[in-house]
Amino acid sequence: MNTLGLIGFVGSVPLPVLFILFTYTMMFMVTYRSIREVRRKATQTC
């Protein structure tokens, strides 16, 4: 496998997959934080 083919493969397969995983991780973290804040506010009202 030549260098140009390897660069093309890395740019076309793993990078988009890493971007998708990063995006889903960020969405999960934001959702988890908002759920935690809602629980905290709910317990403070009791």
Give residue-wise pLDDT tens across range 1-46.
Answer: 688 888 888 788 888 899 999 999 999 988 888 888 888 888 887 6
What's the pLDDT at 46? 67
Amino acid sitting at position 28: F
* pTM score of the predicted model: 0.60
Amino acid sitting at position 35: I
What's the pLDDT at 19? 93
The Cα angle at residue 16 between residues 12 and 19, in degrees rounded to 5: 155
What string of DSSP letters covers the chain? --HHHHHHHHHHTHHHHHHHHHHHHHHHHHHHHHHHHHHHHHHHH-
